[in-house]
Amino acid sequence: MKKTLVVLLLVVGVLALTVTPGDPHGRVRGGVFIGVGPYWGPHPYWWYPPPYYAYPTYVYPPPTVVVEQPLAAPAAPAAPTAYWYYCQSAKAYYPTAPSCPEEWVKVPERPR
């Protein structure tokens, strides 16, 4: 029983002093693994280390939409909408001359 205890303590001591070989970059890592059975893998990580630099998120602005209006054509003179009716024999306009013996002459209204 005493011999088994000494062997067990010796094995635990050797495992505690075991250093894993260095990586290709020249760094040396060491550690102790306490578990059941032999372990031949890399140093066990239980979590990933935080990132060295957190890149900021860039939000692109929405594209600018430009709507070009067509060039307006020059304004044409407005067609006259009203007419004055002139009687040549009476030399007067309608309603001043209520009747005319010949045909009425249409005269476009002048802008003021």
* pLDDT tens column, 50-90: 667 777 788 889 999 999 888 887 777 766 578 889 999 99
SS3 of residue 15 by DSSP: helix
Indicate whether 68 belongs to any domain: no
Domain that holds residue 12: 1-21+29-44
Q: Is the pTM of this model over 0.85?
A: no
What's the number of domains the chain is made of? 2
Indicate whether 14 belongs to any domain: yes
Indicate whether 75 belongs to any domain: no
Indicate whether 2 belongs to any domain: yes
Indicate whether 93 belongs to any domain: yes
Please check the confidence at residue 30 and state whether its pLDDT lies above 70. Answer: no
**19: pLDDT confidence band, cut at 50, 70 and 90?**
very low
Q: Rounded to the nearest 5°, which phi and psi values hold at 76?
A: -80, 150
Please check the confidence at residue 21 and state whether its pLDDT lies above 60. Answer: no
